[in-house]
Each structure stands twice: as structure tokens, then as C-alpha cells.
Structure 1
Amino acid sequence: MEQQISKSEASLPPTLVVGPDEAARMTAHSRSGIYKAIAAGELRSFKTGKRRMILVRELELWINRIASENAR
């Protein structure tokens, strides 16, 4: 089943960064799991002001690495 995209959504630029809550939602991990991966150096992030941010491409690299390491 395809998801329909409205014209306004189609014209939005791609998301470049997300916070830990959105990263958890995107990867089906818990928020604390995201912070543990950051603390362990497995997932790169940065702070801007008081906000912790994760580049979407770093999130993709991390989840792909986990998938390949744990593939059966």
C-alpha cells in the first residue's frame, strides 16, 4: 500500500537532522538506546545550543551497521 504525499509535503526539503526522540522513532529504538549508542561512540551526534542533534545520514549508517552485524 503506497502512502500518498500531498503537494505541500512534496515541496519540503529533505530532513537533514533529527533529535534523539525522532531518531528513536525512525529506528524503532528507545530514546535511552539512542543515548547509549551516542555515549558508546557508536552513533555520532552534536549539540547546537542545548539541543542534541543527529545527522540523518549518520543515523542511516548506524542502523545499517547494526543490521549487517546482526544479520542471520
Structure 2
Amino acid sequence: MATTTAPEIDDLQLYRVTDVMRMLRMGRTVIFAQMRDGRLRSVRQGRARLIPAAAIRDYIALLERESEAA
């Protein structure tokens, strides 16, 4: 039986929301809320919402800065 694992951040340039959910261990609602609030950047390709690898790295850095400030 094959298991699916989340891709590594540098393996691809753009990620689907489901991939980012696995990588960040966050739910769909949280991911979309972060995108809506401008904390996690995304792009549209047709009807798909995709998150660039750089946006994921920036978001993680943001979370780290917020954690240090608290």
C-alpha cells in the first residue's frame, strides 16, 4: 500500500491548497482565512488557487516572528 506524503517546499514552485494543508498541518478553513487576510499569498490559475513556495517560506517566517514577539 502506497502512502502519500506532502511534497517538500523546494520540490515544486506552486502548491495546491491540499498540499499546503499537509505541509503546515492546518485545516482548509485556516489556510483560506490566512489567504483572505493577506498573511499567506496565493495566485489563481484558472479556477485553482495556488500558493507559491516563496509564500510558504514567508508565512513560516511570519509565524516565527510573531512567536518571538509574544
- Answer yes or no: same fold by TM over 0.5: yes
The number of residues matched between the two structures is 60
TM-score (norm: length of structure 1) = 0.74
SS in 2 for 1:15: coil
Largest Rg, 1 or 2: 1
TM-score (norm: length of structure 2) = 0.76
- Measure the CA separation in 1 of the matches of 2:21 and 2:61: 15
- Among the aligned pairs, what percent are the same residue? 22
Listed as ranges, the gaps of 5+ residues in structure 1 are 1-12
Greater CA drift, 62-71 or 15-24: 62-71
1:29 to 2:26 alignment: yes
- Measure the CA separation in 2 of the matches of 1:21 and 1:59: 13
1:18 to 12, 15, 18: 15
Output one character per residue of 1:11-48: Cα deviation in whole Å (capped at 9) or x when no partner: xx831110111111101111111100000011110110
User: How large is the RMSD of aligned CA atoms in angstroms?
Assistant: 1.6
